[in-house]
Structure 1
Amino acid sequence: MAHVHADAPFVPLNIAVLTVSDTRGFDRDGSGDLLCARLIEAGHWLGDRRIVPDDIYRIRAVVSEWIARDGIHAVLVNGGTGFTPRDTTPEALAPLFDKAIEGFGELFRQISYADIGASTIQSRAIGGVANRTLVFALPGSPKACATAWDGILVSQLDARTRPCNFVAMVRPDASPCASRQPATPPAAAEPQT
């Protein structure tokens, strides 16, 4: 049973990209470049782009600013999802989530398994919804960002994806999935005369 109508239109999102790195600048930000190119190619808008060091409070400050902004619908964070002492992106983002999207990290690791085997367990990719803004944390490599975008995000950020997608959660003007619409009460019976 399809929840999204077959004729649903594409609804562009305003997406911000944050690269978390102690060493990269915009001249060497392959992952940020890839995400920006992919989202624009898909028909979305680049709402903002920044680079911050691996610092829990600086990451949280930028993402907090974006989720408080009405015009940002989604945030893609790349970097800082591993297990080194400096990898703090999940810890920075998780307290901001109103709801975690557990399936994002699970599916990312499942897809990654085909490429990198059991090493995928070292990825702490996470996703969540914060103030009606989608937030996804991806590993910092361009290949991992491509895996996340091509295998998950491109379809879930497209209002035409059936049976359901995330667009109606962040764009009130988008048609919601049928499963997220309130049930219509049955019509009252006409009184018998």
Structure 2
Amino acid sequence: MSRIDETRDFIPVRIAVLTVSDTRKAEDDRSGDTLVERLTGAGHVLAARGIVRDERAEIAAQLRAWIADPGVDVILTTGGTGLTGRDVTVEAHRDVYEKEIEAFGTVFTMVSMQKIGTSAVQSRACGGVAGGTYLFALPGSPGGCRDAWDEILKWQLDYRHRPCNFVEIFPRLEEHRRRK
């Protein structure tokens, strides 16, 4: 069973939040606000924040820019994970992933089933790793962002979480680049 090991120190993670939308502006980005409130409330650092249109190339370009930024450890995107023609965030994420975290989508679906029943099948939330940076594509609804953070990411981005977490393996994400 998972738990917080109070003998370990909390390690703040630097997280960028990207909203994918053709219509949202900073003043009405409720999902982005939800993620910022949650991550800063947990003690993490907001490394960057932005909004891009539902355009695959634009999304991938912003992801690549933040992956290359040593001040960003994790990228959370909100929006574009559904089934409509404009929903291309998942494809943009997969354009940049070196490795996909398949279980993230599965666990997110399990969490969503408890909240919205079979409507959970309409989300394509996903996660992956590129350039030593974790990336997670979350739904565009504040509720979906809350569920992803509260039930999964809050724990996996906490170094004290046992039996394991994403933070403790940061140093090993790029070990393949150090091999000779």
Amino acid at match of 1:78: T
Conservation of the 8 A alpha-carbon contact between 1:16 and 1:72: yes
CA distance in 1, matches of 2:148, 2:82: 15
CA distance in 1, matches of 2:22, 2:168: 35
Matching residue of 1:32:
32
Matching residue of 2:123:
123
Normalised TM-score (structure 2): 0.91
| SS of residue paired to 1:49 | strand
Superposed, 1:12-91 pairs within 5 Å as: 12-91=12-91
Amino acid at match of 2:117: G
Normalised TM-score (structure 1): 0.85
Matching residue of 2:177:
none
**Higher CA-based Rg:** 1
Superposed, 1:149-160 pairs within 5 Å as: 149-160=149-160
Amino acid at match of 1:41: G
| SS of residue paired to 1:87 | coil
CA distance in 2, matches of 1:169, 1:78: 24
> RMSD over aligned Cα, in angstroms?
1.7
| SS of residue paired to 1:66 | helix
Aligned residues: 171
Matching residue of 1:183:
none
CA distance in 2, matches of 1:5, 1:143: 28
Conservation of the 8 A alpha-carbon contact between 2:128 and 2:134: yes
**Structure 2 alignment gaps of length 5 or more:** 173-180
Amino acid at match of 1:123: S
Q: Which deviates the most, 6-15 or 157-166?
A: 6-15
In the TM superposition, residue 6 of structure 1 has moved relative to its aligned partner by 5.6
CA distance in 2, matches of 1:23, 1:85: 15
**Structure 1 alignment gaps of length 5 or more:** 177-193
Matched, 1:168 2:168: yes
In the TM superposition, residue 60 of structure 1 has moved relative to its aligned partner by 0.4
Which structure shows the higher helix fraction? 2
Conservation of the 8 A alpha-carbon contact between 2:21 and 2:51: yes
